Structure 1
């Protein structure tokens, strides 16, 4: 009797089955588990309680039940068809020489749910740890006392120490003492963003930007995360999205001239070194193209290329432009200060064009920067390390400027490590026609001259002295195309100064007044020609489609509203 009471009130589900698997009895917990009346349950066998895929394990359990106990995890079904994950254990009993099997059934659905949650937590923890350790910015987790708990790989690389060396130490040992933003984060829970910081180092100072976010647990401040990124990385991003990149290479220099080939050879040698380069040449000879080509072929090609025209900056602003300034350095200084071109070019190349126009007082500062590889922003006393390759250019004879007292001799020697002289166009006449054809091919509307016209054009181009060099030749080609409209370019489309040379050498040739206009007037003339052609096309299509605006718009590939607008502009009656 006591055994029966124990069976009926056992805290887990229990079934009594025979050796064939037929259910002989079930306790109260089993009826609750399977959501079934006892009379209905006793009509079933134990195999029908399992889903198809788990019946074989039950067969195997019954076969060995006479020898040993066995535990398996399977899925049973309730009377309503709900799957129930269970743990099944069988135990053989021998009553009056009959073998009865005690079938323990334990509902493990809650345990499995907990296991799923635990697996998910482990997965998320693994993902978050992986994200933290491999994020591109440095990250340091500190407790409320400012002690370092965790440091990711980027921060270890930036600060030059491992997690084991830093863990447990105060963050102030690495980021400096008395940083108000970090103190405010840990004491008051105040976050901060993009604060510039100069971190002292054994070999060199580290210029970085830091941000901090506090974290809480149950409303209690538990510490914070400090993010840091070297300022060079931020400058690289700025340069990338503001176009401070080199777009020319040595392949872009069009020439057949021996003197230019020598200059290119010397420039390629300069690209493989880290020495300063001085480019000398007249205005328009392509000094910046050479500078960009040197950068593109150097080990710094993935870094920024920052160009500064020293002659175009007012002398009172050139210092702040090159070296930057801090907030409050002068009236009108931007809040938070501003980095200079040296900082923006760090890791790459700084091209100083028209270096001969730099004021003497700034030449002293430039010399110091080139020697020490550090800059000091205007209004600040801290030095910021910069890693910059400097290429300078001038259209003056820089040594004559030194002799005249307009340029420092020590700066001249510092800049003039590798000197490259770029010859003017008049000294390499073999390039003139090559460049003319090249520039003409680059203009979509440009049409090559007829053979008889080409001879006269080539003669005039060769006889001209080209004071504006390649830049002037490019403008001449553009002007000729605008003047010619849809026709091939000819002698009459040359500017007056070039056309006169043809008039003097070709008997019977007369000047054409239209070519006396400037290049800006030529562009206006070209625009007027295009508009007249467009007006004629609209009138022709309107006649062809009998005034159907939709068909005209479809033929021209524009909207109907565009046709109506152009008809109004060109005063076309429908």
Structure 2
């Protein structure tokens, strides 16, 4: 067996993404993510720019890493620039490079800039919606003629790269408000790969279990209890996969090896009922006798199962609960018979 192929060089604006998140897109069971990755690879290989959209924390950078690795330029560098993380007075020199003495504090030998570093590979402009307007004009010119001129008046250099941009913003709304160039928006939005939020993902249960194992649960021989899994599944996850990973890392760190992690180990913010949940007193007229909650839940589950012809997954979706909730009630019902 020959040696494993070398990984393509990576030049990123931030450190490597943690393994559990980095593996997620590659192992995702949500068909929408797989379809977006396959289609984005085709158009990127055809020289069309890809725009990755979705809420903060859904894994846009991770998706781009997988996209680069699947593309025909996988042997080239992947250069990631976070437009929101760079000060406005530095982003121009960071992107386009500069000549010696171009400004106070410039390196003696100058710098080639991130765009030229991406030659032969992929340039990712993360949070493109935060790019200053003046810089958008320069970027548009580069995308049109593929020539980069460094600050300080150096000669223009031709550069060949494939472009992936990412944003959580509505670029059309920004363009309407005059904060984003519409011609640049049309240039970078050759194909939009929209990533679903965690609450929308069809593989949420498998993802929770997988990440729980990846962040140390497997090594510590931990079991995620049904009640904990049900609560995690129900949570809205405004921070998406990034939030999930942080919560599960904390759970694993606090748990003793070989134990079951129950609902009581979860952060308090995950245990609070949704703000929109009606008060218990409003759910039933005061004159009605209060039935035991377990009986009410059992009756609702039985009705849902009958309506779904015994399909647990469909019944769970109808009730808006995790499948483990139904299985747990079924086990309790069988023990009481």
> Does TM, scored on the shorter chain, surpass 0.5?
yes
2:217 pairs with 1:466: no
2:114 pairs with 1:341: yes
Mapping of residues 94-133 of structure 1, within 5 Å? none
2:166 pairs with 1:400: no
Partner of 1:353: 126
2:206 pairs with 1:434: yes
User: What is the aligned-residue RMSD (CA, Å)?
Assistant: 2.8
SS across alignment from 1:307: strand
Partner of 2:227: 456
Residues 276, 391 of structure 1: 8 Å contact kept: yes
Partner of 2:248: 477
Query: Structure 1 residue 462: deviation in Å?
Result: 2.2
SS across alignment from 1:334: coil
Between the two structures, name the one with larger relative contact order (CA 8 Å, sep ≥ 6). 2
Query: Structure 1 residue 420: deviation in Å?
Result: 1.1
1:412 to 174, 185, 189: 185
Partner of 1:304: 77
2:71 pairs with 1:287: no
| Closer/same/farther in 2, CA of residues 301 and 379 from structure 1, 3 Å limit | same
Summarize deviations over 1:84-108 as a string: whole Å, max 9, x none. Answer: xxxxxxxxxxxxxxxxxxxxxxxxx
Summarize deviations over 1:393-424 as a string: whole Å, max 9, x none. Answer: 00001111111111000000100111111111
Summarize deviations over 1:128-152 as a string: whole Å, max 9, x none. Answer: xxxxxxxxxxxxxxxxxxxxxxxxx
Structure 2: gaps of 5 or more residues: 1-7, 281-291, 295-337
Mapping of residues 192-271 of structure 1, within 5 Å? 240=9, 252-271=25-44
Query: Structure 1 residue 501: deviation in Å?
Result: 4.2
Residues 98, 150 of structure 2: 8 Å contact kept: yes
Find the aligned partners of 2:156 and 2:195 in 1 and give their Cα distance: 36
Find the aligned partners of 1:437 and 1:420 in 2 and give their Cα distance: 26
Find the aligned partners of 1:264 and 1:417 in 2 and give their Cα distance: 14
Find the aligned partners of 2:192 and 2:10 in 1 and give their Cα distance: 32
Residues 12, 80 of structure 2: 8 Å contact kept: no
Q: Which has the higher strand share?
A: 1
Find the aligned partners of 1:507 and 1:334 in 2 and give their Cα distance: 70
Find the aligned partners of 1:340 and 1:242 in 2 and give their Cα distance: 12
1:375 to 131, 148, 168: 148
Query: Structure 1 residue 241: deviation in Å?
Result: 8.2
2:103 pairs with 1:327: no
TM-score normalised by structure 1 residue count:
0.43
SS across alignment from 1:392: strand
Find the aligned partners of 1:242 and 1:279 in 2 and give their Cα distance: 19
Partner of 1:500: 272
Query: Structure 1 residue 507: deviation in Å?
Result: 7.5
Find the aligned partners of 1:251 and 1:500 in 2 and give their Cα distance: 28
| Closer/same/farther in 2, CA of residues 501 and 334 from structure 1, 3 Å limit | same
Query: Structure 1 residue 254: deviation in Å?
Result: 3.1
2:47 pairs with 1:274: yes
SS across alignment from 1:346: coil
| Closer/same/farther in 2, CA of residues 241 and 497 from structure 1, 3 Å limit | closer
Summarize deviations over 1:159-215 as a string: whole Å, max 9, x none. Answer: xxxxxxxxxxxxxxxxxxxxxxxxxxxxxxxxxxxxxxxxxxxxxxxxxxxxxxxxx
Find the aligned partners of 2:254 and 2:204 in 1 and give their Cα distance: 21
Query: Structure 1 residue 328: deviation in Å?
Result: 0.7
| Closer/same/farther in 2, CA of residues 276 and 306 from structure 1, 3 Å limit | same
Residues 246, 305 of structure 1: 8 Å contact kept: no
Find the aligned partners of 1:344 and 1:459 in 2 and give their Cα distance: 46
SS across alignment from 1:378: coil
Residues 10, 79 of structure 2: 8 Å contact kept: no
Residues 463, 501 of structure 1: 8 Å contact kept: no
SS across alignment from 1:442: helix
Find the aligned partners of 2:43 and 2:23 in 1 and give their Cα distance: 12
Find the aligned partners of 2:261 and 2:113 in 1 and give their Cα distance: 47
Find the aligned partners of 2:226 and 2:10 in 1 and give their Cα distance: 46
Structure 1: gaps of 5 or more residues: 1-238, 509-574
Residues 351, 390 of structure 1: 8 Å contact kept: yes
Residues 270, 294 of structure 1: 8 Å contact kept: no
Find the aligned partners of 1:346 and 1:435 in 2 and give their Cα distance: 35
SS across alignment from 2:81: strand
Mapping of residues 50-199 of structure 1, within 5 Å? none
Find the aligned partners of 1:357 and 1:431 in 2 and give their Cα distance: 31
Number of aligned residue pairs: 265
Query: Structure 1 residue 479: deviation in Å?
Result: 0.9
TM-score normalised by structure 2 residue count:
0.72
Residues 11, 80 of structure 2: 8 Å contact kept: no
Query: Structure 1 residue 258: deviation in Å?
Result: 3.5
Partner of 1:491: 263
SS across alignment from 1:420: strand
